[in-house]
Chain A
Amino acid sequence: MVQKNRLKRSDFIFIESGEAFQPFQYSVGKEGSRFFTELRDHKKFFGLKCPSCKKVYVPPRKVCGPCFKTMEEWVEVGPMGTLSAFTILRFPFIDPETGEKKPVPYGYAFILLDGASTQFQHFLKVDPDWPPTIGIRVKPVFAENRQGKLSDILHFEAA
């Protein structure tokens, strides 16, 4: 007699990926390495200026895409900036570098650093006494032990 397939919903099998992970060692390159070194050692922001359109890229990169020109002129920008977009998050995320959960609520922002042409992205301090609005002035708060990465800045807050 032919057996009929009578699998119940709970009989279906799933394969878990378990603790599998894919480690990467992402190269930051020459320009990115200079940027993070200045941030770590001097709490300074540096960008690269396009010789053609004069746009200042922060974080820096080698090429101005629209002009297709190599950028070599370093320009110090910030540390003050203007808030240009933000949100306050109510759900946590797992930091891919530390594996730790970011406490909620926290703010996320686009900041136009003084002298820069591109938006810099980082956390925004959430302060009930200070509801952020687009256009306010902000400043960075640096970590004590800086390691040459994005987390050398803790967050931006009202200036």
Chain B
Amino acid sequence: MTVHHDCDVLIVGSGAGGATTAAVLAEAGHHVLIVEEGPWVEQGSVVPFSLDQMDQQYRSGGVTVALGMPSIAYTEGRCAGGGTEVNSGLYWRPPEATLDSWRIKYRIKDFSTDDVLSICEEVESTLSVQKVPGEHTPASDILRRGADRLGWKNDEIPRWMTYRDGAGATEGHRQSMTRTYLPRALAAGARILCEHRLNKIVRSGRRAVSAELTDMTAATDGQNAVTISFRDVIVCGGAIQTPAILQRTGLRHRVGRTLAVHPTVKLAARFDDVVNTPDDVSVFQVKEFAPNISFGGSASHPGLVALALTDNWRDFGSAVTSWPELAIYYAAITSEGRGLVQVVPGVRDPLVTYRLTKRDRDLLGQGLGRLAMVMLEAGAKEVYPSFKGAPVVRDRADLAAMTTMFAVARASVMTVHLCSTAPMGDDDKRCATDSHGLVRGTDNVFVNDAALLPEAPGVNPQASVMAIAIRNARRYCADRAG
């Protein structure tokens, strides 16, 4: 038995791009249906940054990798609300210089910096973006203290959180998509089908006409087929799934060829006191070397501390019993390298590869060294860099030795910021879509998520994703009204 649905607009994915798009379109009167591969998980029902959360809300349990030398581990949210449900919730407006550069380089029409920043203001209001009114976690204070002692620029990054007056960092309530834009969309008449996996978008010439899905909640295989007919489809599956969906639909022009990420390397640092707050991350970032290199804090559950020590277990392993005194930090870079997302016939998941340039490798080494310096200045007794063969760093002499020993091929490189696999703009040679997300070669297939960002913005990208998605959704409504 096949279940059939009809709608004006099918939105594939419910994260930062999909949820905002759905709210704008539904409130403009369009009959919107959202399909989401993952489940709807209420905030607070799973422990943040835990393996349980990874099981429920991440694709492949959080174990996904872009192959290369070295390979880069990455994560994708796979749940209602997407990455906004599981990430740190840190909010950065896109830098003005970045927006200016994108507009010129990719020939993006109607893309004034003022307009985008004006939408950012609306997003900040909707998501209650704010700084922590009360005390910060010890892990946050470490970054601030270390950077201050070095005279390096650092700042608290606001988050999409609500707090009662004077509440501390761990007492906030995350204002993710399931708390904000998705309820707005649903209140305006949109529907959402969770745990429905898109198999195929069916085209007739330049038009997509229907979608074939699998209802993963159905008890038996014979009862899980779903088809959806629509006027337009907007793909918002994120920077990995969106290009895979487009390629499987036969749309390949500049699709999946320019994956951009912020590669990061990590270390664990040990202090005299308890500094580990397992369920939260640092809200401070060090921007002295931005946009090339930034430092921040990572989730530090005891399991993740063990993970950070794994590469040198013989030398570092004994520290694991002191995990309450350890916290994990990262150095992230803006990368000149690029990656590929390619579907392989007969295989469900795309092949993802990424190649770091020599400059990227050098920056990662510099970043790790400077991050270790911040830790030592903040009072770390021991620093454990995450690369095979790394020494324990206790002082500046160890730091110098560590810097010379660093080789990115032996490092655990990872990222949580992925974008640019279907870049937007009127430059046909660079861009997969037009300036508002319409996929080239089609009349009714749009992209509206991180895949559109022409490059990695050098800051947490979800504010950029939301602002651009709202901009494009409004343009869509204006065009369809006309």
Do A and B interact?
no
Interface residues of B (CB under 8 A from A): none
> Which residue numbers of A lie inside 8 Å of B, CB to CB?
none
